[in-house]
Structure 1
Amino acid sequence: MEFPKVQKEIFNPISENVKKLAQVFPSVVKDGQVDFEALKAELGQFETASEKLSERYELGWAGKEDAKRLANTDIVGRTLKYIPEDSKNPDTTENLYIEGDNLEVLKLLRNSYYNKIKMIYIDPPYNTGNDFIYRDDFKVSEEENALLEGEKDEYGERLIVNQKSNGRFHSNWLSMIYPRLKVAKDLLTEDGVIFISIDDNEVHNLKKICDEIFGEENFIACFTWVKKKKGSHLSKTIRNMVEYILLFGKNALKIELFGEEAYSNKWQPLVKRTNAPKTLVFPAKKVETTLNDGIYQAGVYGEGTSSLLFETDIIIKNNLVINEITVTGPFVWTQSKLNEELELGTRVSLSSKFGFNVFRADQDEKIKRPVDILDNKMSVGTNEDAYQELLSIFNVENILDYPKPVSLLKYLINTIGYFNKEFTVLDFFSGSATTAHAVMQLNAEDGGNRKFIMVQLPEPCDEKSEAYKAGFKNICEIGKERIRRAGEKIKEENKDKEGIENLDIGFKVFRVADTNIRWFSEAIKSENMTLEESMMSDKDRLDFNPGFTDIDVVYEILLRHRDIPLSAKVEKLSEIGERTYIFADTVVVCLEENVTESIIDKIATIEPMPMKIIFRDSAFGDDITLKTNTMLRLEAQMKKNSGEKKKAYRVEFI
């Protein structure tokens, strides 16, 4: 009997790319290897010897090849550690705050969120000449530069000062941003977008690097944001009033943008609680949806008097219901009215809550597209507004320099989120967490269910700064506290609004850390054992690293499962054992040191049946017969309890 292992690597980007290539050109992938000459032939490229040295147009810099290799290297020996004491409403929230190097974080998230992020916004370092790679305010004294260059912060992350006197000034910045954007692209949905704030220092290079990563054809806009009400009078040349926001799409052909006039709710519900039940037939491929691909069985969906009876299964592929469906409920329209509107081009949407909404064909022309100049007329805010927002939250002057205003982020989110208010926004240079603030504010205003993922390096605050004096040791502490305070303020300001109690103002906190699992077998060494190790059982010392917790191990395993978000529910199955858990209601992680028949029998009774069960190799020692018999018992019990369903499941070992 074969006993598969939990994979050590989280995501292999090269392997994923080879699989995609094999789908398009099966003949060029042989035994997992790419035949590049065959690939060129498939593309109609037949080079002569003299042509192989031909020049081509591209952006190059010192260190580019290393940056490419870095982007395609999987992360090994690192994980995300759950920090419950810093989290807010962890049992119900779908939001995340992650502390650590954002390149490591992006790679750690790549499996769980592959093709899942609708929008990314980042405000990276502008490369002004006196900056650290991850800071929003980069100006430090010469003495501080000498002290800090090459030093590490409290979490061991290296801080690098990139001065204009450096011969690789632009190259260093490009080498920093390239792999992050390359990995981030993998996270975007096919109709996803990335907004990047930047100023004059690197906007030209950033545009070229995005052209290369996302494709020139997927460039959508370069917004000019008027960031000040009054320019600086200290300048000896011009008063700088603007910054830029580059916008690229994963696939520009699938993206539709909406301007300020699109904010009113032009989508209309097709159900009213007071209506008498009607049965409507929706033709195949006429209903859009944000639901994941798959088959949803016929039955009652939705809640209360607005619930609907789906009398046929719902088959979804590529955000479209591809089969004809028959639905009974309190619909506003009759069948003839529905047919008439569909003929006119009216769009029908099925929400993730299984409610129908329609966008009338005659409303399309009323929508304005966004303009590429964002100023006070657009109500997008300025630096002064952002300063006042932080002041009102913390009651501290200059707690963090140069944050973005909430209104600007709300505007950007609305340009892509008009039809769909249930997507995830990622910001991996999150700073003071303006993006999270904007997501919560928008959800309170329009009843949306957008989620946020904030990522920030825990840079220490200068001991002379107002932030440090106010008790904040690093930028992450500022960001997390802003979310806490802003969320409560939003709820208080909207306390009379129906459903406000359901607003998600929580977040789970994770921190990049070393792996908890000894992925390579190691003999237990009795000598030179640390105090922590001496407190561990023999089997725990064999399987796990000092300082681990069971929850840490469960989350590390979760990261290796495609399409399961890090916000998924994790529960202890105390009725089975003190070290047995389940996440996303579908994967059981049994960390018991000994697996008894009772444990096996109880796992087999879990409803719904888990799709995977993970055990420890050490629970069976060297007894292959015990391991084989235990798995046979599990299989027999699973068949017995599943009855006619006979669902497939998988067993793996660590």
Structure 2
Amino acid sequence: MSNIEKLDLSTPDFVNENIEKIAAFFPNCVTETAEGKKIDFDLLQQELSHDIVEGNRERYRLEWPGKREAIVTANLPTTKTLRPVREDSVDFDNTENLYIEGDNLEVLKLLQESYFGKIKMIYIDPPYNTGNDFVYKDNFAIDRETELFESGQIDEYNQRLVANPETSGRYHSDWLTMMYPRLKLARNLLSDNGVIFISIDDHEVHNLRKICDEVLGEENFVAQFPWRKRTAKSDVPFGVSQDYEWVLSYARKEFIAALEGGTRKYYESPDLPNRPWRIHDLTTQRSASERPNSDFTIINPKNGEKYPANPLRTWAMTEDTFPKYYAENKIVFPGDYDFLYISKPVFRYFKDDDEAKAGDLFGFIPVSTNFPAEIGMSQDGTKDFGELFKDKLFSFPKPVELIKYILKASTNFDKDSIILDFFSGSATTAHAVMQLNAEDGGKRKYIMVQLPELTDEKSEAYKAGYKNICEIGKERIRRAANKIKEEKRRKAEKEGMFANGEDTQDYGFRVYRLDSSNMKDVYYRPQDYKQETLAMFADNIKPDRTADDLLTQVMLDWGLPLSYKIDRTNINGKQVFRVAQDSLLACFDTGIDEAFIKAIAKEKPLRVVFRDSGFADDTAKINVRQLLQQLSPETEMKVI
């Protein structure tokens, strides 16, 4: 039989990964049990203490009933997937923007590999804990059969959105348990110079600050911005009008290091006296299809050694600009310094430049903790929404100018960045991204995530035909895009812009919907089935799933961004998906044989994937693998 590797089609098991990391430092703290490797926490405590550890001690930290459950929840893998919804999308094949319907906890897990360290800015406006709002009730105690049976959509969500009244004995605890795992997963997605902004009111700002200190790092706290949401009211409790809400901001460590003058490692070398310098990755997160001018081979002028670009992470400069950077001493090659161990060219940044313009380097414009008046209040958010919809379909949306101000402050020097909002609501963030791109020519991309929470049957939204919040958010993006496009057209006519008649801004978005895995239960647990029973499962894939569905799950499992351009082509009579040129070729047709593989091998793809049941026969499966290794040895092949 063939030994072709299967894609596991589930998110990483963070518990096992963390055990391996601890084992690397403290092998004596790892023990074996019937369930596999475990950590001896008593020994680990002792390894991390100068004193003899005899039992529990008081310590400074935030505790609440459900905290351990929250940690476990964040670490649990998921086998769910995202399914494309082309009929709700706009310009699906070409856009780089994403709108994802589903529980943001599950979605954040699914995005871990494709967007790890790639998000420049996160903004969220989570449910406030006022006693009247609903919070997510995450329950992963259900058995696996039930989990795989559930669709992951409306019925399940109705059960997981529960009221959190002040009379509840876990009023604060339930809210913290909901927020903690989501922040933990979101932190992984932030880039080294990424920053997160969180809107919150007085009810939980103190607790949010504490869990952010723990999850994101107290040393990474940037500021607590006051935002004036309204003018003073007279009829309020205790005679004090709560006119302000807060926007908490935390940044990744490299971002903070730059702002504070740098705790980086700087080198001193005789060829550059009195000018310490540091190194930085010379590649970018863009693929060859996205940055064709950066897909070139760097040649070391001193010895002629060649360094071709990685098609998935091209150079952070073009072939034309390389000579300029080299002449300015900003490129360091392997072998330039005995004390520097690198395998490819890197950027050189000088300490005096870091200190002079840390904000410029890391994309953050210095701002005051007092927001300017022009960012608006709640009434302005309602007005923004009202300009697109006649009826009041959504309560208290944030003003576009508020989000735009935050965007500009954090991405003004990185206008090609990715923005994430996993409590998307009415999609104000997407609106703000498009508006700012229209104003400064940026190419920022957004990822919106929203639970399809049902609208009340008595509400204006329901009466207008919007059965859940996602329908409102998607329609807002469509209408905002049309409004921005029309405003640009009028301005172009007046000022002579777009002389060639083209507006290249991305107004589209791809819609994905959270669902159960495309694979039958036997795919994940073959050990639970007898050999004679396995014959019933000639195909591991659920019968209602399409090739588009399978491609999305493969991209997530292989860590490819969902924004990559997808083309369809026909090779030897079979439908083939081409993702980011040759990053991935996928074919889910049947009858895969040697002739087809010969045609595929000519493309020299980095990866190929087929259905396990798609080969003509077992002999063809073995021959295909061997033939591909001969004709295109760099190609990685897997099956589902």
- Same fold, TM-score > 0.5, yes or no: yes
What are the within-5 Å matches in structure 2 for residues 538-577 of structure 1? 542-562=539-559, 564-577=560-573
1:380 aligns with 2:375: yes
CA contact (8 A) 2:297 2:308 kept: no
Aligned to 1:130: 132
CA distance in 2, matches of 1:2, 1:100: 36
Identity %: 40
1:652 aligns with 2:638: yes
**Structure 1 pair 153/30, CA: closer, same or farther in 2 (3 Å)?**
closer
CA distance in 1, matches of 2:586, 2:537: 15
1:493 aligns with 2:494: no
What are the within-5 Å matches in structure 2 for residues 165-564 of structure 1? 165-228=167-230, 230-236=231-237, 237-251=239-253, 253-254=255-256, 291-292=283-284, 301=293, 312=300, 364=357, 369-376=366-373, 379-396=374-391, 398-495=392-489, 496=492, 497-498=497-498, 501-518=503-520, 520=522, 542-562=539-559, 564=560
CA contact (8 A) 1:106 1:183 kept: yes
1:110 to 112, 122, 130: 112
The one-letter code of the counterpart of 1:401 is S
**Structure 1 pair 248/423, CA: closer, same or farther in 2 (3 Å)?**
same
CA distance in 1, matches of 2:162, 2:236: 28
Shift of 1:292: 2.5
**Structure 1 pair 582/47, CA: closer, same or farther in 2 (3 Å)?**
farther
CA distance in 1, matches of 2:113, 2:292: 32
1:54 to 51, 57, 80: 57
Return the TM-score normalized by structure 1: 0.75
Shift of 1:165: 1.3
CA distance in 2, matches of 1:168, 1:62: 8
**Structure 1 pair 630/287, CA: closer, same or farther in 2 (3 Å)?**
closer
Shift of 1:10: 2.1
SS at match of 1:194: strand
CA distance in 1, matches of 2:626, 2:176: 55
CA distance in 2, matches of 1:321, 1:425: 21
**Structure 1 pair 90/289, CA: closer, same or farther in 2 (3 Å)?**
farther
**Structure 1 pair 315/23, CA: closer, same or farther in 2 (3 Å)?**
farther
Shift of 1:54: 1.4
SS at match of 1:614: strand
CA contact (8 A) 1:11 1:560 kept: no
Deviations 1:265-289 (A, max 9, x none): xxxxxxxxxxxxxxxxxx9978977
CA distance in 2, matches of 1:382, 1:484: 24
The one-letter code of the counterpart of 1:60 is E
Query: Any stretches of 5+ residues in structure 2 without a counterpart?
Result: 138-152, 261-274, 301-305, 331-348, 527-534
Shift of 1:547: 1.6
The one-letter code of the counterpart of 2:568 is K
**Structure 1 pair 3/62, CA: closer, same or farther in 2 (3 Å)?**
same
Shift of 1:466: 2.0
CA contact (8 A) 1:422 1:449 kept: yes
Deviations 1:608-633 (A, max 9, x none): x2122222332348x65443223222
CA contact (8 A) 2:220 2:256 kept: no
SS at match of 2:571: coil
SS at match of 1:414: helix
Aligned residues: 558
SS at match of 2:586: strand
**Structure 1 pair 134/197, CA: closer, same or farther in 2 (3 Å)?**
farther
Identify the structure with bigger relative contact order (alpha carbons < 8 Å, sequence gap 6+). 2
Deviations 1:567-625 (A, max 9, x none): 2223333223434323233222232222122211111111xx2122222332348x654
**Structure 1 pair 35/132, CA: closer, same or farther in 2 (3 Å)?**
closer
The one-letter code of the counterpart of 2:209 is K
SS at match of 1:651: strand
SS at match of 1:197: strand
CA contact (8 A) 2:104 2:182 kept: yes
The one-letter code of the counterpart of 1:70 is T
Aligned to 1:74: 77
Query: Any stretches of 5+ residues in structure 1 without a counterpart?
Result: 136-151, 259-282, 341-356, 524-537, 639-646
SS at match of 1:588: strand
Deviations 1:521-577 (A, max 9, x none): 599xxxxxxxxxxxxxx9997321132111111111111012x10122233332234
The one-letter code of the counterpart of 2:232 is G
Deviates most, 98-107 or 625-634: 625-634
SS at match of 2:4: coil
What are the within-5 Å matches in structure 2 for residues 6-25 of structure 1? 6-18=7-19, 20-21=21-22
CA contact (8 A) 1:218 1:252 kept: no
Shift of 1:18: 4.2
Shift of 1:371: 1.5
Return the TM-score normalized by structure 2: 0.77
CA contact (8 A) 1:285 1:321 kept: no
CA distance in 2, matches of 1:332, 1:629: 50
